[in-house]
Amino acid sequence: MASIPVFNSIALGDNPAHEASPVQKAALTAFGLGLLAALVALFSDLGAAYPILMLSLVGALVIGGPLVYFWDEYRHRPPGIKNDGIMFSSNMARGLVGWTLGIVLTGGYVLLYWFPATLDGLIRVVDPLSYTLTGNPANQWFLYGTIYTVAVVVMGVRAILKYRHSRYQIIRTLSVMFFQLFLAFLIPQLLVLFNQPEFYFSYFWPLKYDYLWPGTIDYLTDASALGYFMAFWGAAMIFVATPILTYFFGKRWYCSWVCGCGGLAETAGDPYRHLSDKSLGAWKVERWMIHSVLVFVVVTTALLWINSATEGGVFGGLSQSFSKWYGFGIGLVFSGVVGVGFYPLMGSRVWCRFGCPMAAILGMQQRLFSRFRITTNGGQCISCGNCSTYCEMGIDVRWYAQRGQSIIRSSCVGCGICSAVCPRGVLSLENGPREGRFGAPTLNLIKDLDILDAPGIDGPAERPTARV
Ligand code: SF4
Ligand code: SF4
């Protein structure tokens, strides 16, 4: 008798839930064992007693497990986002796993900032790496930098495998991996090894808020000749390079290609990008919050310089209070605890969208005088909504696409995912002439139908040609 096939689902389409392969199960087991080894180190002296053994064990399992898993996962799947049951995922749809991860992440930040002694067992595990790079034992910031960099690199490999059909995504992901690994991790540590100030060449004021504060400038210029260059670099990047690069490329040159916060969002935060709030209310809150933070850091910086120039005669206590509260409220709580801890609950760009003063400056420049825009070939749009769903900045991209209107939004970080997930090739990230950027919607079905796209009928819509 012929056997009757058994289906797990009565859905007409393919069942979105899929079974992990034996390779994936082995990789997940390895990752779980790595986390277990890290937990054992946290609550014991094993890290201090056998640092090289523990570092090798934890590192191999925690890095190797996910890499094998992603390789096996994506080599069997077509590239890109396929809406394959993502909203049924406990991890990616604010289910039990997502909430648990959010609590663990926020809890980890609280321990890191305010109770670092509780992490000592784990800090000792990275001692061998710290001695190699800096010549000193590790502290909580070295542990944090190591975990952060590993997350960007490992999840960056995942992003490259996932978006392998898009050259833009591959190069952009390689870029954030490079800047995090070298400029935000290895070079600052090596500077310490050579008795130079620990300096992050890929972070600028006001994101790295104290890089233009008088205390930091004094510290750098007192340290060495290289310190003078660092102080000059910090000022030149925000006041000279930033407007020029934003004019040519929009804010994407920084937010999606260089910045460490953006790098983490684009890699480790990618599974959660669809959780960003797209409502009008969220947009209103976003505008108020991000510009308030910008005002806060500008006022704080001005007060500190006035205080420094008058040697404490004016705004002495006030400037200290401002800087203290900015460092605590924005630098620690908002950018760290909320900014990363809330990935599984509010999407991957909570900090970039609602709090980052650097994003606020770049956004104003992008909207007012940049050549960057996303053009839309509206006649091809089938209103599937992929673009809006996966926009991590909460922009309703489909609204523009349906009208054939270019997208010029100060919040757009130019990640390009909307374009990468569009099944109809409607969206193009372009750097064109500024003239006509804010033109009326260009939707014209005659123009958008290739079959009629012939001289004498109605020529093709004018489009900027420079594509990046
Ligand atoms: S509109 Fe597109 S490029 Fe801009 S942030 Fe959203 S997904 Fe990224
Ligand atoms: S622009 Fe593309 S992804 Fe967005 S709604 Fe239209 S067809 Fe779908």
Helix (H) or strand (E) holding 428: strand 427-431
Which atom of ligand 1 is nearest the CA belonging to 393?
A: 5
What is the rounded CA–CA span in Å between residue 387 and residue 381?
11
Is residue 52 exposed (0-12), middle (13-18) or buried (19+ Cβ within 10 Å)?
Answer: exposed
Helix, strand, or coil here: 429? strand
SS3 string, 188-243, reads: HHHHHHCCCCCCCCCCCCCCCHHHHCHHHHHHHHHHCHHHHHHHHHHHHHHHHHHH
Q: CB under 8 Å to 233, separation ≥6 — which residues? A: 201
Instruction: Quote the pLDDT of residue 452.
Output: 45
- Taking the CA atoms of the chain, what radius of gyration do you get in angstroms? 24
Residue of 383, 395, 406, 421 to test ligand 2 pocket, by largest number of atoms within 8 Å of CB? 383
Is residue 467's pLDDT more than 60?
no
* Residues in a beta bridge with 376: 427
Tens digits of per-residue pLDDT, 109-120? 999 999 999 999
Q: Tell whether the model's pLDDT for residue 314 goes beyond 90.
A: no
What tens digit of pLDDT does each residue of 333-350 get? 888 889 999 999 999 999
Q: Tell me the mean pLDDT in the region 20-36.
A: 96
Substitution candidate for ligand 1 out of 393, 430, 431 with most atoms within 8 A of CB:
393
What atom of ligand 1 comes closest to residue 414's alpha carbon?
Answer: 3
Instruction: Kindly list the distances between the CA atom of residue 119 and the CA atoms of 114, 132, 339, in Å, as whole numbers in the listed order.
Output: 11, 21, 21
Task: Find out whether the beta carbon of 133 lies less than 6 Å from any atom of ligand 1.
Answer: no
Q: How far is the CA of 350 from the centre of ligand 1 (A)?
A: 14
Q: Give the mean model confidence (pLDDT) for residues 175-201.
A: 96
**232-to-96, 184, 217, 235, 236 alpha-carbon distances in Å:** 48, 18, 9, 5, 6
* Contact predicate 367/408, CB 8 Å: yes
Query: Mind listing the pLDDT tens digit for each residue in 80-111?
Result: 887 777 888 899 999 999 999 999 999 999 99
Q: Whole-angstrom Cα distance, residue 131 to residue 195?
A: 14
> By percentage, how much of the chain surpasses pLDDT 90?
76
Q: What is the pLDDT, as a whole number, of residue 141?
A: 96
Residue 398, CA distances (Å) to 17, 168, 395, 408 in order: 27, 21, 9, 13
For residue 59, what is the DSSP state? H
| Contact call for residues 244 and 371 (beta carbons, < 8 A) | no
What mean pLDDT comes out for the span 207-227?
93
382 CA from centroid of ligand 1 (Å): 18
Question: For residue 455, how far is its CA from the centre of ligand 1 (angstroms)?
Answer: 34
What pLDDT does 442 receive? Answer: 59
Span from the CA of 351 to the centroid of ligand 1 (angstroms): 16
Ligand 1 within 6 A of 401 CB? no
Secondary structure class of 372 (helix, strand, coil): strand
For the stretch 272-304, pLDDT in tens is 999 999 999 999 999 999 999 999 999 999 999
Average pLDDT over residues 200-219: 94
User: In this structure, which residue's CA is closest to atom 6 in ligand 1?
Assistant: 391
- Reported as a pLDDT band with limits 50, 70 and 90, residue 468 is very low
Quick one: pLDDT at residue 318?
Answer: 77
The pTM assigned to this predicted structure is 0.89
> Exposure of 462 by Cβ count < 10 A (0-12 exposed, 13-18 middle, 19+ buried)?
exposed
The pLDDT confidence band at residue 458, using thresholds 50, 70 and 90, is: very low
How far does residue 141's CA lie from ligand 1's centre (Å)?
32
199-210 average pLDDT score: 95
Task: Give residue 23 CA to ligand 1 midpoint distance, Å.
Answer: 34
pLDDT for position 10: 53
- Ligand at minimal distance from the CA of 274 is 1
Higher-confidence position of 450 and 263:
263
What is the helix, strand, coil percentage profile of the chain, to 5? 65, 5, 35
Nearest CA to ligand 2 atom 2: 422
Q: Across all residues in the chain, what is the average pLDDT?
A: 89
**pLDDT tens by residue, 370-423:** 999 999 988 899 999 999 999 999 999 999 999 999 999 999 999 999 999 999
d(CA 54, CA 392): 37
Per the model's pLDDT, the better-predicted residue between 441 and 70 turns out to be 70
Whether pLDDT at 328 is above 90: no
The confidence score (pLDDT) of residue 189 equals 96
Ligand 2 first shell, C-beta below 6 A? 381-387, 397-398, 401, 422-424, 426-427
On the question of pLDDT at 465 being above 70, the answer is no
**How far is ligand 2, taken at its centre, from the CA of residue 383, in Å?**
5
